[in-house]
Structure 1
Amino acid sequence: MKRFMERSPSTAAGTLVDLLRKSVRDTPDKIAVKEKSRQISYAELDEISDLVAGTLAGRGQGGTMRVGIWLNKSIEAVAAIHAVLRSGGAYVPVDPTAPVRRAATIIADCGMTWLITTMDRVETLRAARPDVLSSLSVLVVGEDPGQTPDDLSVASWADALARGTRTPRTLAGPDPDDVAYILYTSGSTGTPKGVTLSHGNARAFVDWARSEFDVTSVDVLASHAPLHFDLSILDVFVAVAAGACVSLVPESWQGLGAALNRFVADEKISIWYSVPSALRRMVEADNAEFLAASRLRVVSFAGEAYPTRQLRALRDKVPTVTALYNLYGPTETNVCTFHRVEDEDFGAAAGAAPPIGQPCPYARAILLEGDRTRLPDDGEMTGELCISGESVMQGYWNDPAKTASRIVDQPDGSFYRTGDIVRRTSDGRYVFIGRNDSLVKIKGYRVELGEIEAALESLPAVDQAVCVAVGDAASGDTRLAAFVTSPSGAVTDERGMRRHCRQSLPAYMVPDLIEILPVLEYTSTGKIDRMALTALAESRITMSRVRPGSARKQRR
């Protein structure tokens, strides 16, 4: 496939495969991966991944091989990632909570050679999309697959370990520019899009993160993010780069603040990385005192804005030595800017959320105004953030048109258009303003939904606020709807929130609907599910024919 942009070969020092090989040499007996009551050493991880890689390479297609990993987070899933990379292939993690038809779409789209999964998922896929299974080989983890239909090519994980052959040491390893993984994200058309990233793309970020956070073999990293979410790259590979331990957060605990606090304490976690939503739940839990007594020394967050008021609550709960980092970057760029949170971020002049900071050493940033107009490279400016550098993807899998639509060519190279509107401060740091697609027109005015959310979240009785814009089929107008949650014990009402909005926002920005929810809905990656809330707003407006400024009874 055509690369994202024409550039010289990657300058990253080696590949992801090299990281495991080094840790095996340096710390073979160190615990590499922990899962509930199980754990394996680096020597064991090396052996397992090597045996599985031998099985994959036996039927593979060298560097062109794509291998799906459709498993719950586990030692086997992590070992499978390393096995695929060692075999010369690229791994494609499939959301284990996704509907089978979505999983089938991803499997078919990227033309997998192998699928590593469980037998129950094989049977589900066979019932829904037998055509997808007919074109690939399956490596079954867990129960014995038993007698399988003649039209299926099925191998057993247990057999691969018991009777498999280790990867020939003469097998040429991947190059930095070879594809390492393909992460599928939601597409605007409803069809998932595959973001293709190379070993060099990943190593640029991994090597920087290991250095910035000073990760060593004594650290324990929490793996909170699902493996199909780009935050998992730090957990899995920075741990391997340092010969550290990665402890897998049980998937059923990902949204449970009290359970996560207990996990941090019991597993002696020193480095944490997640979306802010998870951290907010941890701070609000009854056992948040576990955080203060923990070994946390780095807590980083990404994926969503972290309101300053809530971030202050986190700072007050974690040990005083804990460094807080705001990491920014879409899947297409890995992390490309960062900001270490300082005392000034909580002062009187602090913004609604901390800055996303300055570009990482391997990234370059420019701002665009409108479609293609480049803004000056210094001074205070507001525009769309565009990123170039070693960490930027090779492109969208099998979709050159979509890839081209995200590129802007400049005299000093090609840049990926993030779609995010940011403000560059006088000292060169970037502040996130909002998505360019979250700018909506209301009565002819341009409205940034994030501004309405910030106004609502400034109320002590509001914990989180999400604003969406929906079309009213009856009137043809665009309506604003806001959904909020309240801290435990807080008392608020729609009338008071609407009055507050009128005091701080123009009349056309006051939501037509404000509804209090017990909890917000989240996606499988832990982000707020804005699509679900938009659908809820549409149903509410359709049922009630809400008029601007009208009050409505709230659901509590």
Structure 2
Amino acid sequence: MSSNVPQRVRDGATLSACILEALEKRGDDEVMFALLRHRHCDSSNAGWLEGSSDAVDGMEAGITVERVTKRIWCAFVALLERRVFTSSHDHGTLLPVGGAHGTPGDEPGVVDECDVGVYSRETFYACLVESVCLCLGWTFCLFRPDDPPLRLQRLEQRRRPRCKLHSDDIASLLRGALSVDENNASSRELEAVGAGTNPPTRLPVAQIDDSRVAYYMYTSGSTRDPKCVVVSRGNLRAYLLRFILDKDGLAVVDPRCRFFCLSSPFFDPSIGDMLVGLCTPHGVLYTCTQEDLLNGRVAPLLACVQPTHVVSTPAVWSSLTAAGHLLSFLSSSTPPMKVFLGGEHMSQELINTWADKVELYNVYGVTEVTIYQSVWRIFPGTRAEDVKCGPGVGTRIRVQSLDAASDMFLGDRDASESEGGLCQELCEPARADYGEVVLYGDQVCCGYTEDTASSSFGYDPSTGERFFCTGDIGRLVSTGVGGRPELELRGRRDWEMKLNGQRVALEEVEGTVQRALEGLSSQCACFCIQSTSGTPAIGAAVVLTDVVSGELLRDHKDGVSAALEELLALHLPSFMVPRRWLLFANGASLPQTPTGKVSRTQLAVDAVQGQREELGAQPKGKHDGCNWEEDELYRVVQSVWQSMLGVPIRCDTHYIHAGGDSLGALKLSHAVYLRLHAGSHAGIDEHGRLPPPFQPCVLLQHPRFGDYVQALREGWTAAPLNDEPKPASGEAVPVLLPLLPSPQVLSRAETAADFLFREVVAAQGAGIADRLLHHGLVDVNGHNSRTHRCSTPLHVAVASCYSLEQELPTLRVVEVLLQHGARLTAVTPDGVTAAHLASSRSATILQRLLGHDRGVVHCRDIRQQSLLHFAARSGNVEAVRLLHHYGLKVDTRDKWQRTPVHWAVLNGHTAVLEEMALRCASSAITVSTTAIVKAPESNGSSAKRHRFPGNETARFTRLARKKTYLAYETLHEIADRIHPGNDQVKRLCDCLAPSVGEAAAAE
């Protein structure tokens, strides 16, 4: 490590002097640090939040706070000092005030040791210890208690902390300080009575030279042992004066500043935030527990404090917005808070959400130059790609040309031509504008503890300033006459990778993905991963804003991923389009590092793990997600599916999403049975019941084609029909009926596009569907035509609504499809419209469809079933009530001569029967009233002949015998067969039988 460290900041004062001056101005009972948490956590010192709003509402009543006043803090210093000296004495190393360190580099082998090791994940405890160390001149280092044991052991051996403090130790010391303060309260009162005033609190501040080491900070983001940065007290003081207090920096000038820290203790901004509580006369640093932060419970804490300043990362702030509902908690009556977000790029959604509600700033900095070095205000309407880092604040920023850094940046000369072509494809500005960002000034740290000859630290011989080469690639953009140039980042040197012989800046790909998916995602990150062949590939993780069901997203991940790739192919060369996707539903957040940044390492690990799991479950030679062998049984059943559903069938085709329904499951299962038994009806009873494993319930339990074939194979092996031997896997199936030809109406490209669009719709991705349709990449009707009947994306959208929670997402997809011209009259091979499916799923969706085209209300499918039949079969009372409003009758009959009432009885939907009975009773009263008012004609010649209730059963029996082999059953016969002993169903049958032309009571 270099020993050339500036002795003092240029104005001559020291960090110790700044601390002492602030403490002298602060009252003994003023709060310096405060820990907020929800009441479920154990807290022994709950109280009112100093500096917050004047009224405590129900939300604030559930929040507790541990307050550390100046007096309590001084008692904590004394107890900690005693603890450290005791620990040093036990280890045979007496620790003097000011620590064991002189100027870095004066004592080789000793300079790398630290006085205090902090092992706490709680920022509040870490800040308390750090503030004491700065006052007494002790050096400190943060260690992650959850580090792998061997790695933690190596890091400890390098720093060799003389005293180790864990969270329990610090909490115990704080309780002791609170107890001391309470015990001394009475004695202070007596002294105040005798002397007329409270005695001043002794301030435990040692005068330490700024050349001494303040702390050691390990950098993040490395899978190996991280580098350790050495920060001097002079570096820290420069950051305090020239960034925290500067009007162009954090501008902590409010005498009653309420500063909320949302940083991990292992992220160096938390140390800078600590200075607000220590080095400002009246400022308060608020923090929360890591448990509340990780579980999205920080929003009410922020609302309770109404902070003036917040420093965090875009990942953390986005997670509070999505999962924590932060917007709903914030008050509009208080001045807007200043929110400083740094460490990574902001998404467009974050900017759109917050730029007009708070003073939003982008901050830029590197650990090696003491936390942050520039600030840029983000105003409403700013686009994410236009966000800059701003001019240097307290630090001079230069951009070293790439030519000068060619040995570091353009290592592969053979790639120069490809790079030029890549720049053209990306429409980039001239590369001459870009270079490596180099930072100069007093905030530049002392170096790394394990320094190497190729260190990025150095001195400018012309000015004597210390500098650090950041490895960031950017340019300085002019702001006009008199304005300082602003830094605009492009990426990093170490984010580059080589694909197909061409250099690719991963951050550029990520920026393009964010822009292309603007409005579709709340978070996006790209990462590098090795493909199965061992070559590098680009992966992407996206949190989709309009997909609310994680289960649906997992089921349709392949199709949604393919759709995203199609959209990105409009913006990126093919070799730069991410091919490995991690998809998250709305409300989720990407994994974070301990410092609050997106953990691309963890994303890559998750992607590799998912890839291994897929390969482990996939037989050799299969690349379409099918896990089962394509034997003769597979091909026979596939032919039946294709002929019945009218769409190409893949191994992962979902029966419901391909346009099937519960009644169609009976028809398809019946067709499969006949195909496998040479057209023989043997084994099918008089009610149409199929033997196992050909029952419709098997299809509904295994709706994906590959799973259904496997269920047939296993069930048929376990229970062969009439001792008929089931061929083993791979043997021929004795089929006498010819296989129906597969539909070949779509090209290969159309089939692929149609598949991915259906998957997007099934996952309820309204925004992605809208974008695909807008760019003309897919057909809104799924290539449905008069000659090619098949389920449409609208069928798929309606079928994806399984619950009330999914109703609104489904409705959004339906709106998109209707806006782009989806036809409600499009039918499946069974004549089923989307309105039929909506009748069985959701009255709200059905109402929207009928509002778009009322003409479909009277449509019937190939089985002559009306919308009311579908609603009654599924037990959808709201849909039944809606269809009654549209004038549909309960006595409408299908090919089996069954009315909606028959299907309601058959499926045991008593609520539907009660609604129908109420409707019929109401209609009967209306008809009776009309008959009384209207007098019959005298001669009766024009009187219409009416059928009387109870005289139609024989006719229905004859009609059923002509159209189907199933025997006709009256309502009472069905009730006696399916629901014997159910008096409620029988009573409802008595009420409804006359309305459908049957006798009022069972004979």
Does structure 1 retain, via aligned residues, the 8 Å contact 2:300–2:329?
Answer: yes
Per-residue Cα deviation, 1:260-292 (whole angstroms, up to 9, x for no partner): 221111123111000111211233343513235
Shift, 1:93, TM fit? 1.9
Per-residue Cα deviation, 1:358-397 (whole angstroms, up to 9, x for no partner): 111333433241563699xxx9820111112111110112
* Structure exhibiting the larger radius of gyration computed from Cα positions: 2
Shift, 1:57, TM fit? 5.4
Give yes or no for the alignment of 1:286 onto 2:320. Answer: no
Which residue does the alignment assign to 1:174?
208
Does structure 2 retain, via aligned residues, the 8 Å contact 1:256–1:281?
Answer: no
**Residue identity opposite 1:21 in structure 2:** L
Which residue does the alignment assign to 1:524?
594
**Residue identity opposite 2:539 in structure 1:** A
- Compared with structure 1, are the counterparts of its residues 172 and 80 closer, same or farther at alpha carbon in structure 2 (3 Å cutoff)? closer
Q: Secondary structure at the match of 1:173?
A: coil
Shift, 1:522, TM fit? 1.3
| Separation (CA, whole Å) in 2 of partners of 1:480 and 1:21 | 53
Which residue does the alignment assign to 1:32?
32
Shift, 1:303, TM fit? 0.9
Q: Secondary structure at the match of 1:239?
A: helix
Could you say which structure has the greater relative contact order, defined with CA pairs below 8 angstroms and 6 or more residues apart? 1
Which residue does the alignment assign to 1:444?
501
Shift, 1:333, TM fit? 0.9
Shift, 1:15, TM fit? 4.1
Does structure 2 retain, via aligned residues, the 8 Å contact 1:277–1:527?
Answer: yes
* TM-score, normalising length: structure 1: 0.81
Within 5 Å, which residues of 2 pair with 1:384-533?
384-397=436-449, 399-401=450-452, 404-407=454-457, 410-412=460-462, 413-427=465-479, 428-458=485-515, 459=517, 460-472=519-531, 474-489=532-547, 493-518=560-585, 519=588, 520-533=590-603
| Separation (CA, whole Å) in 1 of partners of 2:338 and 2:141 | 29
Per-residue Cα deviation, 1:476-507 (whole angstroms, up to 9, x for no partner): 42211112111154699222211111101111
Does structure 2 retain, via aligned residues, the 8 Å contact 1:51–1:160?
Answer: no
| Separation (CA, whole Å) in 1 of partners of 2:146 and 2:204 | 38
Shift, 1:411, TM fit? 4.0
- Compared with structure 1, are the counterparts of its residues 358 and 170 closer, same or farther at alpha carbon in structure 2 (3 Å cutoff)? closer
| Separation (CA, whole Å) in 1 of partners of 2:309 and 2:127 | 18
| Separation (CA, whole Å) in 1 of partners of 2:360 and 2:306 | 18
**Residue identity opposite 1:510 in structure 2:** V
Shift, 1:470, TM fit? 2.1
Does structure 1 retain, via aligned residues, the 8 Å contact 2:265–2:595?
Answer: no
**Residue identity opposite 2:141 in structure 1:** V
Structure 1 stretch displaced more, 93-102 or 199-208: 93-102
Give the structure with the higher percent strand: 1
Does structure 1 retain, via aligned residues, the 8 Å contact 2:123–2:263?
Answer: no
Within 5 Å, which residues of 2 pair with 1:169-208?
173-186=207-220, 188=222, 190-207=224-241, 208=243
Which residue does the alignment assign to 1:18?
17
| Separation (CA, whole Å) in 2 of partners of 1:366 and 1:100 | 41
Which residue does the alignment assign to 1:330?
366
**Residue identity opposite 1:106 in structure 2:** L
| Separation (CA, whole Å) in 2 of partners of 1:27 and 1:449 | 49
Identity %: 21
| Separation (CA, whole Å) in 2 of partners of 1:50 and 1:373 | 54
Runs of 5+ unmatched residues, structure 2: 37-64, 87-93, 102-113, 181-200, 410-430, 480-484, 554-558, 616-621, 624-748, 764-1003
Runs of 5+ unmatched residues, structure 1: 120-139, 145-155
- Compared with structure 1, are the counterparts of its residues 282 and 292 closer, same or farther at alpha carbon in structure 2 (3 Å cutoff)? farther
Does structure 1 retain, via aligned residues, the 8 Å contact 2:351–2:384?
Answer: no
- Compared with structure 1, are the counterparts of its residues 211 and 241 closer, same or farther at alpha carbon in structure 2 (3 Å cutoff)? farther
**Residue identity opposite 2:155 in structure 1:** I
Q: Secondary structure at the match of 1:523?
A: coil
Which residue does the alignment assign to 1:357?
390
Per-residue Cα deviation, 1:510-534 (whole angstroms, up to 9, x for no partner): 1122331344211122111111111
Q: How many residues are paired up? A: 506
| Separation (CA, whole Å) in 2 of partners of 1:362 and 1:475 | 46
Structure 1 stretch displaced more, 69-78 or 417-426: 69-78
| Separation (CA, whole Å) in 1 of partners of 2:11 and 2:127 | 23
Q: Secondary structure at the match of 1:288?
A: helix
Does structure 2 retain, via aligned residues, the 8 Å contact 1:12–1:176?
Answer: no
**Residue identity opposite 1:420 in structure 2:** D
Which residue does the alignment assign to 1:127?
none
| Separation (CA, whole Å) in 1 of partners of 2:560 and 2:308 | 41
**Residue identity opposite 2:405 in structure 1:** R
Which residue does the alignment assign to 2:286?
247
| Separation (CA, whole Å) in 1 of partners of 2:116 and 2:95 | 9
| Separation (CA, whole Å) in 1 of partners of 2:167 and 2:145 | 11
Does structure 2 retain, via aligned residues, the 8 Å contact 1:54–1:168?
Answer: no
Does structure 2 retain, via aligned residues, the 8 Å contact 1:16–1:237?
Answer: no
Which residue does the alignment assign to 1:85?
134
- Compared with structure 1, are the counterparts of its residues 113 and 455 closer, same or farther at alpha carbon in structure 2 (3 Å cutoff)? same
- Compared with structure 1, are the counterparts of its residues 160 and 297 closer, same or farther at alpha carbon in structure 2 (3 Å cutoff)? closer
- Compared with structure 1, are the counterparts of its residues 533 and 370 closer, same or farther at alpha carbon in structure 2 (3 Å cutoff)? farther
Q: 1:209 aligns with which of 244, 247, 253?
A: 244
Shift, 1:157, TM fit? 8.9
**Residue identity opposite 2:84 in structure 1:** L
Shift, 1:249, TM fit? 1.4
**Residue identity opposite 1:390 in structure 2:** D
Which residue does the alignment assign to 1:341?
377
- Compared with structure 1, are the counterparts of its residues 214 and 88 closer, same or farther at alpha carbon in structure 2 (3 Å cutoff)? closer
Give the structure with the higher percent helix: 2
| Separation (CA, whole Å) in 2 of partners of 1:220 and 1:337 | 22
Structure 1 stretch displaced more, 498-507 or 408-417: 408-417
Which residue does the alignment assign to 2:165?
116
| Separation (CA, whole Å) in 2 of partners of 1:469 and 1:542 | 16
Which residue does the alignment assign to 1:132?
none
Q: Secondary structure at the match of 1:504?
A: coil
| Separation (CA, whole Å) in 2 of partners of 1:66 and 1:12 | 29
Does structure 2 retain, via aligned residues, the 8 Å contact 1:305–1:353?
Answer: no
Give yes or no for the alignment of 1:273 onto 2:272. Answer: no
- Compared with structure 1, are the counterparts of its residues 170 and 142 closer, same or farther at alpha carbon in structure 2 (3 Å cutoff)? closer
Q: Secondary structure at the match of 1:358?
A: coil
**Residue identity opposite 1:435 in structure 2:** R
| Separation (CA, whole Å) in 2 of partners of 1:211 and 1:280 | 27
Q: Secondary structure at the match of 2:387?
A: coil
Does structure 2 retain, via aligned residues, the 8 Å contact 1:141–1:158?
Answer: no
- Compared with structure 1, are the counterparts of its residues 276 and 6 closer, same or farther at alpha carbon in structure 2 (3 Å cutoff)? same
| Separation (CA, whole Å) in 2 of partners of 1:354 and 1:210 | 24
| Separation (CA, whole Å) in 1 of partners of 2:294 and 2:177 | 36
Per-residue Cα deviation, 1:62-108 (whole angstroms, up to 9, x for no partner): 34252111134265543322222233211112234434444433322
Q: Secondary structure at the match of 1:221?
A: strand
Give yes or no for the alignment of 1:262 onto 2:300. Answer: yes
Give yes or no for the alignment of 1:300 onto 2:340. Answer: yes
Structure 1 stretch displaced more, 279-288 or 238-247: 279-288
* TM-score, normalising length: structure 2: 0.46
| Separation (CA, whole Å) in 2 of partners of 1:42 and 1:111 | 31
| Separation (CA, whole Å) in 1 of partners of 2:178 and 2:31 | 23
| Separation (CA, whole Å) in 1 of partners of 2:432 and 2:30 | 49
Which residue does the alignment assign to 1:536?
606
